[in-house]
Chain A
Amino acid sequence: MDVEAWKSQLRKGAAELAVLALLDDTARSGIGLLDALEARPEIGLSDGSIYPLLNRLEREGRIEGRWQTPRGGGRGQKIYALTGEGRSALKSMRAAWTGFRDELSEIVGGSR
């Protein structure tokens, strides 16, 4: 069986939730998100997939990006933060995810 193909399907919806959840506690840049996800390769977000996702979430009004230049100069970065709409979407998605995870764990055998 092609597990990679199945994992790719599994990750599609999860990536959006992971990004919104990471932006919940603090605003981050694309690089900041990638660094936070670096130790979690199973989420499957890479340099190539994160920016189109951020772009879509911004267009949908769930996140807001602002260009910031570090104090003392240097490279500017676009920093993303959740909007009110994003926060409310995250709340609904979290509840849906928790229910889904619990039920699937009961069937599959969660922590074993």
Chain B
Amino acid sequence: MSDDRKIDDYLKALARSLRVLPERDRDDIVAEIRAHLEHRAGEGKLADAMKALGGPETCARAFIEEIKIQSAFADGGPTKTFGALLALASARVTATAGLFFSGIFYILAAAFVFIGFYEMVAPETVGLWSDPAQGSFFFGTMDDPPSPTARELLGRWLVPVAAALAVLFFVFAQWLTKLFLRLMMRRGRPGAI
């Protein structure tokens, strides 16, 4: 594919990703990125330039975030301020997913701490029950065993097992939180600004 064709394809995709902006702003941005890419192509560095800009969507998102925030502060109307917040939120899907998944594992860790303590207070109501008749397992607390055929498997081992699982889920949740934070810092605009 020729350089001109690559530039045209990139700019078409960029214009599509910028469609939320007024036409004048969009045209101005596309014209400037065209000038940039054509200049770099003249230097024989088109591939590097495209890589540095990121994909058309990434490139567009960087402009949209800047413009939405700036115009929200300038105008202050509810549509613009809410729209700016929405644009930021959609760009923060990673953060939301991170919060959700690490949250689940923190809750699991807390649940096993609770089960461990409850075992010490009311051992007969806590356990890991297996029911061979139904082929089912249940780990937790309940007033009565799940069924007459159910057997409790852990006995005195319940406290150390619950503690180990609590630590395991806690460490995993922490690792997951840090992983998503790292992803947040690396994604978004190329150049990390």
Interface residues of A (CB under 8 A from B): 2, 4-5, 7-8, 11-12, 15, 29-31, 44-53, 55-56, 59-60, 67, 75-78
Contact = CB atoms under 8 A, between A and B. Distances in A.
B52 A46 contact: yes
Contacts, number: 89
Contact of B192 (A8, A55, A76): A8
Interface stretch (B32-40, B82-90, B124-132, B151-159): B32-40
B63 A48 contact: no
Majority SS at the chain A contact face: helix
A4 B42 CA distance: 32
Interface string B52-82: 1110001100110111001100000000000
Contacts of B182: 2, 5
Contacts of A67: 31
Nearest to A46: B191
Given A49-B193, A52-B63, A30 B185 contact: no
Contact of B193 (A29, A31, A45, A76): A45
B167 interface: no
Nearest to B189: A49
B63 A55 contact: yes
A12 B193 contact: yes
Given A4-B185, A7-B192, 11 more contacts: A2-B185, A11-B192, A30-B32, A44-B193, A48-B54, A49-B62, A49-B193, A59-B71, A75-B42, A78-B31, A78-B32
A76 B35 CA distance: 7
B32 A8 contact: no
Contacts of B31: 67, 78
20 contacts: A2-B185, A8-B193, A12-B193, A31-B40, A47-B191, A48-B52, A48-B53, A48-B62, A48-B190, A49-B62, A49-B191, A49-B192, A49-B193, A52-B65, A55-B66, A55-B67, A75-B35, A75-B42, A77-B39, A78-B32
